[in-house]
Structure 1
């Protein structure tokens, strides 16, 4: 920035503080009346805590483990100062022209924050920036210049993305005001109030410049961001009412979402089964969810020692989120794709996503007590030891967290241990996702329904998402670098119509920018603007139109079902509710079930085809590998003839092996038309899936096994099993069991696993369905496991029942055979004797897909 501009800023007239001060507000409920002196002490403590979080403490910064972080902070600040020196007209930093780009404006504020941070770091390696008031005044002058020319004029601001103006800029500014509070007090005492007044004015989705809990923009992670900013703003203004209100508003995100009794109409947040939603209907634990976890844990640290709130509830809630919501979705240090929304198209990896979670767990462990603290520390060590990418603690936000992380790894009293059992099944029914874990692999399934979005596209991200919620699966193999198997390169090189597990019509679809020439469909007269509800509903994250999605869980085993449907946009266009130029796509037809055991995931599909007469592809699996890897594809035909290579053949089983990485997956075709096997080398730019990705070509080997249906052929069924880490010998053995398909229609699908004594059944339509030893009034899902005792007629039956539609009041199951009595039963389960067997009636009303279990003898 030129000298003349700095001189200009130093001469800018000060705005009287009194003119900008807010009128007194009522103290938020829960904050007892305190003196002005006590309030001032709390504000100072809040600011000091925040500065310690961001810049570290003399103690943390003296640690050798923190040196790399501090060096990076200083280097970043120096590069930003160089960019400031080279700025041209209309720029504060070189290369960031201002006036029409809200990302450039937000980045300019980020750079100012990064410079300010380097000047406030206490201790650590020598730095010329530490305590440099001249540099701090350059930051302050930069704040004033941006406000005068590009931020303060409300009539010119608020273009582009609402997030920039209500959260992004405010986050950087609020932190900068806290870091430079002393220099601001002596150099520009008016600037803090000036900026807070402007930030209030830009909170346009709020109410009177404050949070509005009834606003669809002030929910979940977004609400946590806004309220964290307002806590800091209140502290630097000495506005106790603002801090108290912000704390009270943030505490609302701790409440578990009850879909039958919504507060303020909000569906965003954590559910009882560990699910997390943002944007009303998008599974988002791996992006917005980790942001919310981070903010809540930061709030614990920011408010420590103040009188605003007890940290116990915050710590207890965050601990529950980690155990139930995050740990099951992290496999060997990798965040699963099924909960990342449009974030799957970003070049950051699942390992990077987990780094943010680990920092939150590190800090949480410092505030938890007893066994909880030990378990959290053990989980940190577990992620570190199992991750195939070295976790870089210098990526943590806080230097204090880095020091604490080092202490945990050196602590022998907290041995490495997962928070999730090695054999575990969890149905995240509130977000239509399923995770099945065993030693050696994890299987993640993305479902959707009339409740949950099929995918998320937004802001030029995730450009080809159409089938990501239609039963797409991700089979993670232990010991692998998952960046070589999934992540952005998977979505870049695997065609969107051939994602693993997907049934899709053979057609070419166009992205939103290709269709409309902009990042959204623009039609204000019909309610379509950048972030309107119509845009959200029909463009950004459309739901499906069928209610069946979910299944039963019995211990570590699970069943899941899905009736594939058109999305709401297609249905609305068909009914004449959308403009003529709005483009929609019709889905293919399929009814599917996944039955998840120890060594196999059995997949049944019925009614597979297309009512519009198009050709259809059902992809059994798609996997990628680096080009240098050695891949082999071998199998056996139904007549026992060995087979290898690619092509279409009547296969009994198939084995894909990456010998370079000691990874393999087997496929057993129980009752499947002739599959087609391909192995191609594909090169595409990562910009194919996200407009802001670098235009970097990536090349992978893409293995795919699929079932191709020609146009106009009748609908068909198929049944196959995925067998992780299978050898050829093991795959040959499936000719004699233990799997058998009991029924596979659009009305019911069921399998038996003889070795485990399991029968699992999904029914999709009304009426009584009889399969094997079970009868059920559909729709519903049931798993039955039988264990025989020593006596001839001594047997124990374990049963799990669920309503995947979430709309039924009761589901009834008849276990045919000898009458049995209940040993244990969940509340809501009633066991009676009837002619022909034992009847189990389950009250599923308001259970939201949860499984009910009983044990009978």
Structure 2
């Protein structure tokens, strides 16, 4: 590698370790507080000479060190004292186990590629190389942090350097041809390596740094961000920019830092296809996968780190598009955060990463542990946002933290110490008042997802269409997620059921009976449908309409590798969700089932099930066909009402499972969880089956029975293959999914569409209309209701006729991405 004069000057003019710590302790420097745009906190705008440049790069190294290690906490105060001691213990164990040999640095992480028989093996080898760097990063943090018992241990320092040299000479060098997973070579390994270079900078000779940077340049050349496509989009692009920025900081290369900053620009704008943020708050990665909770988390955290690193420097990120990211905190991330967890429906294959076979500490990942880093990233991002935004976000974060009784963030064993320090700062800040969970409905048409939040509970619906995959598998992960896009209905309570999907749900649940789904019992192979979200159903009608509080949602379902067809609807109301299914047909030669719910009752089970006033057995296993069932209640969870009565099967099941069954890298430990499942058995090869039920999260048995007894509360207007609709007179609510044009109740639509009406007590009504198919170039809707005046309307409405009825004519809706068109009227 050719080292520039500037790089040589910086490499040979070392700051002392104490000097670095001092540079990182200043408030503006360590926190990334803005100064004059483009100005360095240590120098005037622009770099005028080599010494000045060296100072700026040294300042950036010090700042990154602080971002990695955290600040504002005492190493002798809990929970930091224990976490630091644990870090030291882990580092000591890995240090003792380190045994440099041909093909491995640790015996359990063989990174040599002996021409494996499968791509999966090759992926594993490259992943082991990346993990080896991650372990060295852990050793470096134990060396640099106070309270680990290994602080400034010269023997540990030498072992870290030995490990770095070994990995460089054996596998990660400028003459190596990469194999296996690209991610390991371009993101995983170089990020860990560059972090180590910052932490151990004083101990690394210039020649070693030059060699390491040459390896980074080889695997992550400037061309990695030349085009916004392939693996260089969304969260991956942010990760690549982090590598380039740190490569520039460590090597004092201004052009690399500038490239990293500029390469962020394509991440900011809203997209209409593929990876990135959409105007409705959707976030997509891998082209077809809703990924707010996993890749979205990486992108949010990465941007927060880079904004903070470059703030006040010559390379500050000043692109106006940053505001889109700031707006996305509440548009994209907050709707999927609930009491500290991030909803699984937007976490892709990450839901299968429960317990790793190689995880020495046996830290299980789950929705809460995926949620906590997002909270910390929001706090960090706030440092670069407006004071108003930052203050509100801190209030949201404080509320989520205080309500997370199931998995308190401050007890999170997987949360980094720097993230822990940021969250502790929010908790201890007496000027911050916690903000309550918001209520309302959010429909994410661009990723076929919806969230419905009410006082005391929240729910989420996952669907699939020709743009959004059934599920994602890949790298041997999420092997049984086949039906998660088949209308899975998740729900949580504010003080109950927050561990519903956290407590070994994915390895133990029956994957053919996911709550809310309709599925064939046809046996599917592991990873059926193909990797990376490749399998898409050939359907258009998926979406709905909402006024921001209530919603009508529909999914035309085609089963994965199945002949199954179904029409599914959800009407999201004030204290309930009405669920309808119709036109259910299949010729797989197997049974077809619609799962009303499948509740994880933990290792012991025992929650009482009451059906029409009669308590059912609590023994395992137990099953019963419940005929003419009007209502059911599961203690500690909620109620279910079956309008007009239904035949429902109830099952208490004690299920064994392993993480390795759903993720090839998972632990083989056998887990057992008890489940209570309610489902409708449509029989083998049904021709036109239906279902109807009302989900009431958190409802008592008495309230569930009262709802069942109130036969006037709900009117099912239609439940056929052509239309599905309901009316709830007491709420002034009408919702209809027109799979085909026609008349349902007082509504007539000329073409397929979704309609939701809310009549208000003040004599007005809001009519919400959408084109989920994105194909209507014209639509006429008639409401047989006296309307005196149209007070506001969407621009898509080309005419509105009032009087004894209302007729609305819409223009071209095909380019509006299924977004709700609202019309407000004064009733006659």
TM over 0.5: yes
In 1, are the aligned partners of 2:793 and 2:822 still within 8 Å (CA)?
A: yes
In 2, are the aligned partners of 1:297 and 1:364 still within 8 Å (CA)?
A: yes
Partner of 1:564: 557
Post-superposition CA distance 1:315-337 (Å, at most 9, x none): 64443222111211122212111
SS of residue matched to 2:609:
strand
Post-superposition CA distance 1:225-268 (Å, at most 9, x none): 11101101012222111110111112321222234xxxxxxx21
Alignment of 1:258-337 (within 5 A): 258-259=272-273, 267-310=274-317, 313=320, 316-337=323-344
2:141 to 96, 117, 125: 117
Q: CA deviation at 1:67?
A: 3.7
Once residues 724 and 753 of structure 2 are traced to their aligned partners in structure 1, the CA distance between those partners, rounded to angstroms, is 11
1:151 to 161, 166, 172: 172
Partner of 1:607: 583
Once residues 655 and 847 of structure 1 are traced to their aligned partners in structure 2, the CA distance between those partners, rounded to angstroms, is 41
Post-superposition CA distance 1:308-362 (Å, at most 9, x none): 1246857644432221112111222121110111111121011111110111122
Partner of 1:807: 775
Once residues 748 and 465 of structure 2 are traced to their aligned partners in structure 1, the CA distance between those partners, rounded to angstroms, is 26
> Structure 1 unaligned runs (5+)?
1-14, 23-29, 260-266, 516-520, 522-534, 568-584, 790-794
Residues 1:508 and 2:508 are matched in the alignment: no
Q: CA deviation at 1:467?
A: 0.8
Change (3 A) 1:229 1:63: farther
In 1, are the aligned partners of 2:269 and 2:321 still within 8 Å (CA)?
A: no
Residues 1:589 and 2:579 are matched in the alignment: no
SS of residue matched to 1:406:
helix
Could you state the TM-score of these two structures normalised by the residue count of structure 2? Answer: 0.86
Once residues 370 and 182 of structure 2 are traced to their aligned partners in structure 1, the CA distance between those partners, rounded to angstroms, is 24
Once residues 541 and 669 of structure 1 are traced to their aligned partners in structure 2, the CA distance between those partners, rounded to angstroms, is 37
Once residues 414 and 821 of structure 1 are traced to their aligned partners in structure 2, the CA distance between those partners, rounded to angstroms, is 45
2:746 to 748, 773, 792: 773
Partner of 2:131: 107
Partner of 1:140: 161
In 1, are the aligned partners of 2:95 and 2:159 still within 8 Å (CA)?
A: no
Change (3 A) 1:232 1:60: farther
Residues 1:391 and 2:409 are matched in the alignment: yes
In 2, are the aligned partners of 1:234 and 1:241 still within 8 Å (CA)?
A: yes
Residues 1:725 and 2:698 are matched in the alignment: yes
SS of residue matched to 1:850:
coil
Alignment size in residue pairs:
761
Could you state the TM-score of these two structures normalised by the residue count of structure 1? Answer: 0.83
Q: CA deviation at 1:703?
A: 1.0
SS of residue matched to 1:821:
strand
Partner of 2:466: 450
Change (3 A) 1:208 1:362: closer
Partner of 1:818: 786
In 2, are the aligned partners of 1:750 and 1:762 still within 8 Å (CA)?
A: yes
In 1, are the aligned partners of 2:352 and 2:478 still within 8 Å (CA)?
A: yes
Post-superposition CA distance 1:401-454 (Å, at most 9, x none): 544433322323221104x52x21111111101111111211111011001011
Q: CA deviation at 1:685?
A: 2.2
Alignment of 1:827-838 (within 5 A): 827-833=795-801, 837-838=805-806
2:353 to 346, 364, 367: 346
Once residues 62 and 829 of structure 1 are traced to their aligned partners in structure 2, the CA distance between those partners, rounded to angstroms, is 65
Partner of 1:573: none
Change (3 A) 1:759 1:690: same
Once residues 308 and 6 of structure 2 are traced to their aligned partners in structure 1, the CA distance between those partners, rounded to angstroms, is 30
Once residues 20 and 306 of structure 1 are traced to their aligned partners in structure 2, the CA distance between those partners, rounded to angstroms, is 17
1:462 to 457, 466, 478: 478
In 1, are the aligned partners of 2:140 and 2:199 still within 8 Å (CA)?
A: yes
Once residues 85 and 322 of structure 2 are traced to their aligned partners in structure 1, the CA distance between those partners, rounded to angstroms, is 31
Once residues 477 and 208 of structure 1 are traced to their aligned partners in structure 2, the CA distance between those partners, rounded to angstroms, is 48
Change (3 A) 1:74 1:547: same
SS of residue matched to 1:221:
helix
1:97 to 97, 106, 110: 110
Once residues 759 and 150 of structure 2 are traced to their aligned partners in structure 1, the CA distance between those partners, rounded to angstroms, is 72
SS of residue matched to 2:504:
helix
Out of 92-101 and 232-241, give the one that drifted further. Answer: 92-101
> Structure 2 unaligned runs (5+)?
9-37, 40-44, 114-124, 355-364, 618-622
Once residues 554 and 16 of structure 1 are traced to their aligned partners in structure 2, the CA distance between those partners, rounded to angstroms, is 61
Partner of 1:486: 501
Partner of 1:4: none
Partner of 1:574: none
Out of 91-100 and 336-345, give the one that drifted further. Answer: 91-100
Once residues 72 and 303 of structure 1 are traced to their aligned partners in structure 2, the CA distance between those partners, rounded to angstroms, is 32
Residues 1:846 and 2:815 are matched in the alignment: yes
Q: CA deviation at 1:600?
A: 1.5
2:195 to 166, 175, 181: 175
Post-superposition CA distance 1:652-671 (Å, at most 9, x none): 3232323xxxx132221125
Residues 1:654 and 2:667 are matched in the alignment: no
Residues 1:674 and 2:647 are matched in the alignment: yes
